[in-house]
């Protein structure tokens, strides 16, 4: 079929439009065909199993017994020639209808194209093995939850494990000991039996119980009963010795304590041989509860006996990691000593027991730290042992209420030096037996010594002097934290807390608003304020540097900002208070002149520090210096101009202006020196020369 312009009224434009419309229609049909093919490919990818089964069925139907050969393989399509615009007179051939490569889809109705008909597209191959379905094994059902056991069965199971027997035996120990206490105390008050028969009967009863326990221990299944019976007999022996010593006064205190120590040693020998921490606890705990009943209250006799008990039972910890027994042993003397301190805090007069209190406290602390060091290499509870040793120092914190000021401070200082000395020596000196001191132990004991020193300062000093002492302690501690790596964080944290308390007290003595009024400054000015302000500024800088060294950059910036504020306050307080102390009212004005000048000098020092740093530190220091310059200018025009008069106003403006001029000239020259073309400089803090142009 030939299309000419005569068919459209011999108008060439109409013929051209008709031809273009026909070509666009053919392109649309081809795009529809491609879209259908992509839809079919998507269906195959989403459901590969069905396509694989379908292709297998088609292959089996085509050749059930013979495998496909090269002759039957599909012929690859010929290369498509490049697309060219056909001439106007080229006939348009309609392609025959073709079927889709998958069943169930309508056949192609044909499309118009120029040139010879296209070769049929071969069917797509099967899915890739990666996309093949994976067989999932059937999931096993969850086992049914067993029903809860009845209470009667659980009680029976506990009885089979021996729990009921232990409970009954422990209750029997308590009841028997109460009966022995009634025999020794209430029988004496009622006049029943002679004292000799009471004490002798108690001793015979104690020996009989221990002998019975040894006999039970040899019987099968008699361990629980033997432990309870032995504990009852040993505790009865304790009470008998205390009654003979305290109630009837037949034995001197030293002799009575020696006999009681022998009884305790015998009981702990059984506990050690039988490997029973339970027996050791039953030997010590009843004495702590019933001992004050026989002594008629808390006194130094009972405390001395508790110390003997703790010392006599120290060897039991050898090759026995019995942490509960160790805690009870140390609590036996520590709790009564703490009660003595609390009683003195409540108003009880204990002045006559000051020396005895100090001696007993030192002995208990020695027992606690020595026991911890001996057990440290083999124990699993290193932190607990260190904490128990530190707990023995609790009575020392109350020494200021029991003793006079000099004695209390001497005792607290001695304990602090002892603890920090033990920590330092054990951290440096390492032996084959003891080994290195664990870091957690060193940290706990360092914190303990710091707390004792802090309390000693509060006891020794009062008022502004105590504030200066606290700030000084915080500064020294922060300096020590730089050289002691194992406890740096603890020392730095403790120094920060102590410094915070001291600085809060300093602000209470000299608030910032007081520095703006001459009358209030004259009323509150003292040398302690000057020293405290100096130590506050120095401590703030040292602590900020320490936290910067140990922590991340964000906290370092916060620490530097806080230190800058504290230093500005400290400089102002030192200048104004010193001026008032030296020259009175005129010194107040001169002090503010010096304070403004110091602000500008500090800003210059901060900018100079920024020149020696790089990166974030340089930006932070530069920002702080500029902020301080702005603050100095605001102070100059808002406060100094209104408060100062006469020569002081002239001086502050001239001095401040000259410093700012010099600072600006120096900074511009330093900046120009870094930007000289062709120069090679090495920024501070780096080791590689940087070429600046």
Domain range annotation of the chain:
10-45, 167-297, 553-676
User: Which pLDDT value is given to residue 678?
Assistant: 45
Backbone angles phi, psi at 681, to 5 degrees: -125, 160
User: Which pLDDT value is given to residue 349?
Assistant: 63
- Segment 299-313, tens digit of pLDDT: 787 888 788 888 877
Q: What is the pTM of this model?
A: 0.65
Structure tokens at 10: 């011999």
Chain-centre distance of CA 279, in angstroms?
A: 38
Q: How many CB atoms lie within 10 A of CB 112?
A: 15
Which string of DSSP letters, residue by residue, matches 10-41?
Answer: T-HHHHHHHHHHHHHHHHHHHHHHHHHHHHHH
As a whole number of angstroms, the distance between CA 176 and CA 208 comes to 13
Q: How many CB atoms lie within 10 A of CB 345?
A: 13
Average pLDDT over residues 439-447: 89
Give start and end residues of each alpha helix (H) in 392-482. Answer: 394-397, 399-402, 405-428, 439-460, 464-481
- Segment 75-94, tens digit of pLDDT: 444 444 444 444 444 444 44
Q: Hey, is 171 helix, strand or coil?
A: helix
User: Which pLDDT value is given to residue 163?
Assistant: 63
Closest CA to 667 of 605, 602, 624: 605
- Segment 196-246, tens digit of pLDDT: 777 887 788 888 888 888 888 887 777 777 887 888 888 778 778 877 877
Mean pLDDT check: name the lowest of 344-353, 461-470, 503-512, 683-692: 683-692
The sign of the torsion formed by the CA atoms of 120, 125, 127, 130 equals negative
Calculate the average pLDDT of the chain.
75
As a whole number of angstroms, the distance between CA 11 and CA 444 comes to 106
User: Which pLDDT value is given to residue 30?
Assistant: 81
Pick from 134-138, 426-430, 454-458, 614-618 the range whose average pLDDT is largest: 454-458
Average pLDDT over residues 333-356: 80
In this prediction, residue 503 has a pLDDT band, given cuts at 50, 70 and 90, of very high
Closest CA to 260 of 312, 333, 204, 184: 312
Is residue 35's pLDDT more than 90? no
Q: Which helix (H) or strand (E) holds 112?
A: strand 112-114
Cβ neighbours of residue 359 closer than 8 Å, sequence gap 6 or more: none
In this prediction, residue 375 has a pLDDT band, given cuts at 50, 70 and 90, of confident
């Amino acid at each position: 079929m030939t299309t000419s312009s005569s068919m459209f009224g011999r108008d060439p434009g109409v013929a051209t439009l008709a031809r273009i419309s026909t070509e666009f229609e053919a392109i649309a049909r081809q795009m529809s065909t491609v879209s259908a093919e992509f839809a079919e490919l998507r269906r195959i990818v989403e459901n590969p199993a069905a396509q694989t089964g379908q292709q297998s069925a088609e292959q089996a139907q085509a050749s059930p017994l013979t495998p496909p050969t090269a002759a039957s393989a599909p012929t690859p399509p010929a290369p498509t020639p490049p697309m060219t615009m056909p001439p106007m007179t080229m006939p348009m051939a309609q392609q025959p209808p073709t079927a889709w490569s998958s069943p169930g889809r309508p056949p192609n109705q044909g499309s118009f194209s120029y040139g010879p008909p296209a070769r049929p597209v071969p069917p797509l191959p099967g899915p890739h093995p990666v996309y093949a379905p994976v067989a999932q094994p059937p999931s096993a059902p969850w086992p049914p939850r067993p029903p809860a056991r009845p209470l009667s069965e659980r009680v029976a199971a506990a009885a089979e494990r021996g729990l009921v027997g232990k409970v009954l035996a422990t209750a029997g120990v308590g009841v028997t000991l109460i009966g022995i206490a009634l025999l020794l105390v209430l029988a004496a008050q009622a006049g029943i039996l002679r004292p000799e028969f009471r004490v002798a009967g108690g001793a015979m009863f104690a020996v009989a119980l221990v002998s019975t326990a040894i006999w039970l221990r040899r019987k099968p299944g008699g361990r629980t009963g033997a432990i309870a019976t032995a504990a009852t007999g040993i505790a009865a022996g304790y009470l008998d010795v205390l009654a003979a010593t305290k109630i009837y006064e037949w034995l001197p205190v030293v002799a009575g304590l020696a006999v009681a120590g022998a009884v305790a040693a015998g009981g702990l020998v059984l506990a050690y041989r039988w490997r029973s921490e339970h027996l050791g606890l039953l030997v010590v705990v009843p004495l702590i509860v019933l001992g004050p009943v026989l002594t008629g209250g808390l006194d130094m006799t009972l405390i001395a006996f508790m110390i003997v008990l703790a010392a006599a039972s120290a060897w039991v910890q050898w090759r026995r990691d019995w942490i509960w027994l160790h805690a009870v042993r140390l609590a036996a003397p520590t709790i009564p000593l703490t009660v003595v301190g609390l009683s003195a805090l409540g108003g009880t007069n204990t002045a006559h027991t000051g020396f005895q209190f100090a001696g007993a406290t030192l002995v208990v602390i020695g027992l606690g730290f020595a026991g911890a060091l001996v057990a440290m290499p083999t124990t699993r509870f290193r932190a607990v042992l260190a904490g128990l040793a530190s707990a023995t120092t609790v009575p020392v914190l109350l020494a200021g209420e029991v003793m006079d000021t000099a004695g209390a401070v001497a005792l607290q200082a001695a304990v602090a030096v002892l603890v920090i000395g033990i920590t330092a020596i054990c951290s440096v000196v390492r032996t084959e037996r003891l080994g290195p001191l664990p870091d957690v132990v060193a940290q706990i004991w360092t914190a303990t010594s710091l707390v004792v020193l802090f309390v000693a300062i509060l006891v020794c000093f009062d008022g502004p002097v105590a504030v200066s002492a606290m700030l000084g302690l915080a500064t020294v501690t922060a300096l020590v934290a730089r050289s002691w790596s194992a406890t740096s964080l603890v020392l730095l944290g403790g120094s920060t807390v102590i410094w915070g308390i001291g600085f809060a007290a300093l602000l209470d003595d000299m608030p910032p608003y007081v520095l703006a009024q001459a009358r209030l400054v004259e009323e509150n000015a003292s040398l302690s304020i000057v020293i405290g302000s100096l130590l506050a500024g120095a401590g703030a800088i040292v602590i900020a540097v320490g936290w910067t060294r140990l922590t991340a950059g964000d906290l370092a910036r916060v620490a530097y900002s806080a230190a800058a504020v504290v230093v500005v306050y400290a400089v102002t307080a030192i200048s104004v208070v010193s001026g008032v102390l030296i020259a009175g009212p005129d010194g107040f004005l001169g002090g503010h002149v010096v304070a403004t000048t110091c602000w500008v000098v500090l800003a210059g020092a901060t900018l100079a520090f920024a020149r020696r740093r790089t990166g974030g530190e340089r930006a932070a220091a530069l920002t702080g210096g500029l902020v301080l310059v702005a603050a100095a200018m605001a102070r100059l025009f808002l406060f100094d101009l209104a408060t100062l008069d006469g020569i002081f106003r002239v001086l502050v403006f001239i001095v401040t202006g000259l410093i700012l001029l010099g600072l600006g000239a120096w900074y511009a020259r330093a900046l120009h020196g870094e930007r000289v073309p062709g120069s090679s400089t090495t920024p501070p803090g780096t080791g590689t020369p940087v070429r600046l142009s």
